[in-house]
Structure 1
Amino acid sequence: MSVRPEQRQANPVSSEHSSTSLYEMHRTALVDYANNILRDRARAEDVVQEAWERIQSVERTRIINEPLRYFYRIVQNLALDNRRIRKREAQRSGGTLTDISDKIADDTPKPDAIAAAREEFRIVIESMGELPERTRMALLLHSVEGLKLREIAERLELSVTYTHQLVAKGKMHCLRRLSRKRS
């Protein structure tokens, strides 16, 4: 049984890589926590991965006072959302998707944002070229093709846990290269 976030001590961490170190130190406990909600270990792995990505995004704009508690909260929210979505999908019977193209706002990026994104994309492509083949493949399948960790593990004939580690290592490598560019 996992410890709830309220029962853990979380120290304020202001370093750029606080979510990465928390992720590495508490990944198993976070996955166990998500699994208690979802009752599906593979989905729990995906939820923890998504939570880590979201925390990294938040860390770019502000310091998180209690990062571990925040990490658990995001995992909990994502797991509950995932469970609700699965429940809704299970209740549907042959429903069709509605056309949402009218509802999508025009959020065309500005030229300077496009230039910055191209530069970041170039760095990510270079950094992916530096990764071992299996890590690069796992990262591409997850980030580009959108496959779940369970599907990648089956395709690469690996465990879900090891696949999760490969994807995380690949993302960390790319993020480190990007952070060097920003410095």
Structure 2
Amino acid sequence: MTSLRDFLISNYDELKKRLTYRLGNVDMASDALQDTYLRLQDKSVEQKDAAPSVAHPVAYLLQMAFHIAMDRERSAERRLTVEEAEGFLDIVDSAPGPLAIAEGREDLMRLLQDLETLPKRQREILLAVRLDGESREQLALRYRISLRTVDRELERGYAFCHARIRESDQ
């Protein structure tokens, strides 16, 4: 009884022709048959050359080679191409660096100190709207003022902040 490796070698051209037809690529078929041979060689070493009994060696080898080719294709689909990998290297990190973070914190601290110079009600309304998300209506009820007055306080607070930020940018 001949081994599957010997059968593959003696019927290589026929197996390659049939596998090429099934895969649609002669190079893929050749590579798959080569890998099939290597796997059979590994199995024979593990099994001390005990030849497995296969009723239909052609079908068995073709199926084995076909599965190897499909595994290779799936593996290749998961890998990045060189162009894709280079594309990732060109990505710029948009997160601020340590210097920008430190400057931002400094600006924020300066703005918070400047907010202390605002009239108390104006500061509280501005912070309640911007930080706490309170509605203008809620603030009008709390301070017993009109919506128009709330809007005016917000406008003045925004103008103040805008002016301070412009000053710090210069």
State the TM-score, normalized to the length of structure 2: 0.42
Asked which structure has the greater CA Rg, the reply is 2
Say which structure, 1 or 2, has more relative contact order (CA 8 Å, 6+ apart): 1
Q: Determine which structure has the larger helix proportion and give its number.
A: 2
